[in-house]
Chain A
Amino acid sequence: MIAFWQNLGKSTIERLASIGRATSLLLGALFNVPNIKKGTPLLIKQLYSVGFLSLIIVIVSGLFIGMVLALQGYTVLQGYGAEGSLGPLVALSLLRELGPVVTALLFAGRAGSALTAEIGLMKATEQLSSLEMMAIDPLKRIVAPRFWAGMISMPLLALIFSAVGILGAHLVGVNWLGVDTGSFWSIMQAEVSFEKDILNGIIKTVVFAFLITWIALYRGYDCIPTSEGISSATTKTVVQSSLAVLGFDFVLTAIMFSS
């Protein structure tokens, strides 16, 4: 019985300690906004590896998801003679849900895992301790640029995803299936609002970017410095950030779109 209480207490304390470490890491990253002269090169390097290198997977999946949405939507809408509503169907589902969520999942798999593995290996090879030895704050030098790179590139990636998806839907719907191009765009323009749909989608992606980069950086920074520890930290990053994205997506959707 005593052992049970002890285990419970131990796991609670560990949980709290890990939340505390994660929060201090986050604060360290948040308040170490890279200064213009020294930080910009670091930020640009991270923007390249986090943002630009994720571009291919985001564009390709956006294109295919848009095309599949158009195909599926067309088959159903055709039954009601409402093919013209294909535009708003695709645009709204991409801007409100699929753009932010699928990009976030891809981003977690492509960039989040890489961040964790990189920082975890830095820790295992004691590069982080060496930085501290040289009186360089690893939070400032390593964590902050990666955090801000994730926060900047994720919304951009989601916007690119949605735009490419709509173009893909146009390709299939208009050029292949013969939906009228004028009604495709005009009904879309009548239905989609900038504040309600596009802006809310961007807010979603910012929240997801925050969650994913935070989890990825914390998992890497806090991993057990062995090869096994790094692999389990990488797995945890992908699993936890995907779950966090899906959970927060429901909450955000409930707040934004339920009237």
Chain B
Amino acid sequence: MVSRKIEIFVGFFVSLGVLALIMLALNVANAGIGSNGETYTLKAKFENIGSLKVRSPIKVGGVVIGRVTSISLDKSDYLPVVAMEISTDYSNFSETTAVNILTSGILGEQYLGLNPGVLIGESDADDELNDLFGQDELKVLVDGDFITDTKSALVLEELIGQFLFNQGGE
């Protein structure tokens, strides 16, 4: 009675609706969208991450090179640990690399700014520096390493508090 074509179209319509629901639900429940290509993970411990979120961008000089993949709390010292997924195109960060939590604009979202520090590669300059500081050769950060030089997010209330405290001192 009902032609097969109509049944197929209705099936298509209903599955499209369910698909839309799944897409909307996954948007909320945080599904992995995007990020293709090979990546490696670095970690960093902060005192305060402000409003940094999972999937926030990681930038070097404004260029996005990766994303935050997870934020957790270290149970031993109750400091937040941020895991960063960085494209393997940029895999020669040295252990002098610094990472800051920065804000784009006044009200904008927060992101991680990487500061590469001493670059590895030009052997002459490296050797001189190493001689100067009496260090062993600089290590390259590999998958799973911690970046030790971190600076926390600016929290406006703390800033205002400090300002008031300083004013009171004068």
Contact = CB atoms under 8 A, between A and B. Distances in A.
B156 interface: no
B24 to A, nearest CB: 5
B57 interface: yes
A106 interface: no
Given A47-B13, A156-B13, A198 B25 contact: yes
Interface string A176-188: 0000111101111
A51 B108 contact: no
Contacts of B27: 91, 166, 185, 188-189, 192
Interface in A75-93: 80-85, 91
- Of listed B7, B13, B14, B57, residue having the most chain A CB within 10 A: B13
B20 A186 contact: no
A186 B31 CA distance: 10
Contacts of B16: 55, 156, 160
Contacts of B111: 183
Given A80-B106, A163-B24, A192-B27, A183 B13 contact: no
A80 B105 contact: yes
Interface string B22-33: 011101111001
Contact of A189 (B10, B19, B28, B64): B28
B37 interface: no
A194 B25 contact: yes
B123 interface: no
Nearest to A49: B6
B125 interface: no
A45 interface: yes
B108 A182 contact: no
Contact of A185 (B19, B55, B64): B55
Interface in A109-157: 153, 155-157
B67 interface: yes
A186 B23 contact: no
Contacts of A194: 25, 28-29
A80 B108 CA distance: 8
Nearest to B21: A159
Contacts, number: 115
Interface residues of B, number: 38
Interface in B12-50: 12-14, 16-21, 23-25, 27-30, 33-34
Contacts of B29: 189, 194
B107 interface: yes
Select the residue from A41, A51, A164, A189 with max chain B CB neighbours within 10 A: A189
B34 A156 contact: no
A173 B2 CA distance: 43
Contacts of B159: none
Interface in A181-207: 181-183, 185-190, 192-194, 197-198
A52 B10 CA distance: 6
A182 B67 CA distance: 8
Residue of B20, B107, B108 with most partner-chain A CB within 10 A: B20
23 contacts: A41-B2, A44-B2, A45-B6, A48-B9, A48-B10, A48-B13, A51-B13, A51-B14, A52-B12, A82-B105, A84-B109, A153-B17, A156-B17, A157-B17, A159-B20, A163-B19, A180-B109, A181-B34, A183-B57, A185-B27, A186-B54, A189-B55, A192-B27
Given A189-B55, A194-B29, 16 more contacts: A41-B2, A44-B10, A48-B6, A51-B10, A81-B106, A81-B108, A82-B105, A85-B107, A155-B17, A156-B18, A163-B23, A166-B24, A180-B109, A181-B34, A189-B28, A192-B28
